[in-house]
Amino acid sequence: MSKWFGQTFRKLHKLYVSPQWAQHQGARFDAVEYADSLEAAAIDCLELYCKDHHGTCYYPCSLGLPHPRNILDELLPELKKRDIRLIAYFSVCFDNYALGVHPEWRMVNHLGDPYKLRPFYMASICSPYTDFALQQLDELAANYEVDGFWLDIIPLARDVQQDLWMIAPHPIPDYSLYAQKAFEAAAGEPLPVNPTAEEADRIFEFMTGQVDDFLNQAYAVIRGYLPDAVITYNAAGAPGDPIDSADLISIEGHAPEYVRQSFNARWAKTRDKPFEILTAGALPRQALGGGWNGFDQKPTAFLGVENAIALAHGGSMVFGQAPFADGASDPAQFAGLAEVFQPVREIEPWLTEAPGFSDIGLVMAPKPRTASKRWGVALDGAEAFHDAMIDRHLQYDIIQLDRDLSPYQLVVLPDQAALSDAELETLRDYVRGGGALLASGCSSLWDENGRRRADFGLTDVFGLSYQREAGADFVYLRLGADELAADVTALPILIDEVALQVAPTSAQVLYDFVLPESRRTEATTILWGDAAPDESKRLPGILHNQFGDGTCTYIAAPLRTKGMPNVWVKRLMGALAANLVEQPVLSTNASAGVELVLNQQTGRIVVHLINRYRGSVDQPSFQDNGITLRDIRIELDLSRMAIDTVSRVYIAPDIALDFETNGEKLQTTLPELALHAVLVFE
């Protein structure tokens, strides 16, 4: 059903939004001209707005707010002539027309105040609005043979900050009359106004079930007419998605947060579904929806870096493109897109069916439905280690604990608070069998249902016992004068997190945390700084334990990498991981701003190199003098790869490179890297 999506790499998300107040609605839309522009830009799939947040429908519909032009009917046949696939975008719970006519359908709090995200109200999934939306979908699927459906604004996550995940929140509780009645019918008790923590868990599970029911009804409606249609929704398969029922993984991620985009792609890469990372085509402005409906398209270099990140992991970076409300599009937008997409056609043979090869498994095991208060902790912990390891050019997968861990030299367990007994046993077996585990923070203190354990679930593997949170807002770590200090720093490292107080049972304490002289208060500040370390107040900080034939290194604090205050913490995390990989499959002299991704295809090895400096807002990267890197050395350990010999090395599609072999090691040098290079060994 969705296989074609994973074999196409040139996709556009067309945000044609033309509300009633706009001048000359649709007057300048020309389907032939638009389709020709897509074809010239080498686009092979279009995600087209068929119903927007205002409630405007761009196809004939017996319900909703009609647009003067039938955009879908005019454009679809032109796309089919050019072999361009079409996925119909449909806004679900943002619909200002329907929620204006029927304010009782809105999601509200217990005072009746409607939930609103900037100009848009959100529909209650328990209200008759769902029947309204399902009929609109029915008429769309019945009359247009599209290739798929993209459902937006599905209320999914609990207590989410919008940040850059853009996963739609489900405020708890929704106190619309319909939600109250539905909850009482299901639970046998009224919907609480000020729910306890346990009640909030039950409410979230109930509301998630309502969303799940709606999605299943939508799938049935669509597949009743189009059984092979690809169906996805915004944030489908994202770490915070409590349902994960779509055919595709669809996650937003926006420049200049390239490391976040890479995290999205690495997460999606191992989930056994095709995936897309969606990004606004225009320069981001939060007041305008993050650039989704802007006309000032990003410089081509920015688009190129974003695109390369998704391609390197076997997915698609889908760019937003905003026509004017009258239906016209700026030709310069397509000229920029052509610069990005046309070269992709030449390297597509090296993108498909190319799984990664990694030394490290970075565990991200969120439980967004059963332990919904803990999924954000799991996300933050995993993303921090991703940020640290990507700069060290370590090769790693972001994994859940539903796979064989034996291929990995190291497994990183970064503050994964909620783990099941089965997941604990998977980790135990891995370490007992000779694996190396690097764990941090609250990992395993909760079970998969969000219930607090009396001690770490992995207390035997860690070789220590949980006592309490340390009585300080932050701690200091000093590495002394050993090899780790030489790799990181001999300076005191301030870890600005609440550490855990642990008691070693069998673990050896490698480094202590030192508590500050006082808590962080205005009365105890040293000018604007923090209290100095009190050497008499020490706690075990980094510990090492032998378990079976393997080892565990544990850090007794959550670790974060965001921003300049955490640069030493970030270096520490990368060094700890690198030191635990005894035989890296890939080594390089590339700088930290280059992302390297190692993949395998049948009979060949593929290495992607991405120059993220080209997308830096602080560099003249979109000018002719953008940063080009030179003489990047790559060394591969062929004994680790599923390939016997290498007879040639080249930059795809066909630029030969010299190489040397020394036993099982192969070395080559990339003369220069402008933005993206696909290095092939076969």
For the ranges 3-12, 123-132, 617-626, the lowest mean pLDDT is seen at 617-626
What average pLDDT score do residues 388-403 get? 96
- CA-only gyration radius of the chain, Å: 26
Contact 384, 560 (CB under 8 A): yes
Q: Kindly report, residue by residue over 583-614, the tens digit of the pLDDT.
A: 999 999 999 999 999 999 999 999 999 999 99
* pLDDT for position 162: 46
User: What span, in angstroms and rounded, lies between the C-alpha atoms of 281 and 288?
Assistant: 13
CATH fold for domain 360-579: Rossmann fold (3.40.50)
Contact 459, 465 (CB under 8 A): yes
pLDDT above 90 (res 617) = no
> How high is the mean pLDDT of the chain?
94
Contact 514, 478 (CB under 8 A): yes
Q: Kindly report, residue by residue over 194-210, the tens digit of the pLDDT.
A: 899 899 999 999 999 99
Which percentage of the chain shows pLDDT scores above 90? 86
pLDDT above 70 (res 642) = yes
What average pLDDT score do residues 366-382 get? 91
User: What span, in angstroms and rounded, lies between the C-alpha atoms of 206 and 273?
Assistant: 27
Q: Are strands 629-637 and 665-673 parallel, antiparallel or unpaired?
A: antiparallel
What are the residue ranges spanned by the domains of the chain? 3-350, 360-579, 586-681
HSE-CB at 234 with a 13 A cutoff on CA atoms is 26
* pLDDT for position 322: 94
Contact 401, 425 (CB under 8 A): no
Q: Which run of H or of E encompasses 238?
A: none
* pLDDT for position 545: 98
* pLDDT for position 551: 98
Please report which confidence band the pLDDT of residue 167 belongs to, taking 50, 70 and 90 as the band edges.
confident
What average pLDDT score do residues 383-396 get? 96
Q: Kindly report, residue by residue over 136-148, the tens digit of the pLDDT.
A: 999 999 999 999 9
Please report which confidence band the pLDDT of residue 14 belongs to, taking 50, 70 and 90 as the band edges.
very high
What average pLDDT score do residues 371-389 get? 93
Q: Kindly report, residue by residue over 493-532, the tens digit of the pLDDT.
A: 999 999 999 999 999 999 999 999 999 988 888 888 999 9
Angle between helices 197-225 and 177-187 (to 10 degrees): 100
Q: Kindly report, residue by residue over 437-446, the tens digit of the pLDDT.
A: 999 999 999 9
What average pLDDT score do residues 447-468 get? 97
Q: Kindly report, residue by residue over 67-84, the tens digit of the pLDDT.
A: 999 999 999 999 999 999
**CB under 8 Å, gap of 24 or more: what pairs does 142-147 form?**
142/225, 143/59, 143/60, 144/59, 144/72, 144/73, 144/76, 144/88, 145/76, 145/226, 146/72, 146/76, 146/86, 146/87, 146/88, 146/226, 146/229, 147/4, 147/45, 147/85, 147/86, 147/87, 147/229, 147/230
* pLDDT for position 626: 75
CA 361 to the chain's CA centroid: 16
What average pLDDT score do residues 449-461 get? 97
Sequence-ordered alpha helix ranges (H) in 28-117: 31-40, 71-81, 96-101
* pLDDT for position 513: 98
What average pLDDT score do residues 77-104 get? 98
User: What span, in angstroms and rounded, lies between the C-alpha atoms of 554 and 508?
Assistant: 10
- What is the DSSP-derived secondary structure letter of residue 662? E
What average pLDDT score do residues 153-180 get? 78
Sign of CA dihedral 101, 102, 107, 112: positive
The more confident residue out of 539 and 563 is 539
* pLDDT for position 644: 80
Backbone φ, ψ for residue 208 (5° rounding): -60, -40
Sequence-ordered alpha helix ranges (H) in 226-317: 258-269, 300-312
Look at residue 330 and give its three-state secondary structure.
Answer: coil
Using the structure block, give the residue that is written with the tokens 């020709």: 36
Strand blocks (E) in 69-208: 85-91, 116-117, 120-121, 148-152
pLDDT above 70 (res 289) = no
* pLDDT for position 157: 83
Burial (0-12, 13-18, 19+ Cβ within 10 Å), 283: middle
Which percentage of the chain shows pLDDT scores above 70? 97
CATH 3.40.50.970 for domain 3-350, yes or no, is no
CATH code linked to domain 586-681: 2.60.40.1180
Cis peptide upstream of residue 274 (ω within 30 degrees of 0): no
* pLDDT for position 25: 94
pLDDT above 90 (res 464) = yes
Q: Please state, as a whole number, how many other Cβ atoms lie within 10 Å of the Cβ of residue 622.
A: 17
* pLDDT for position 284: 84
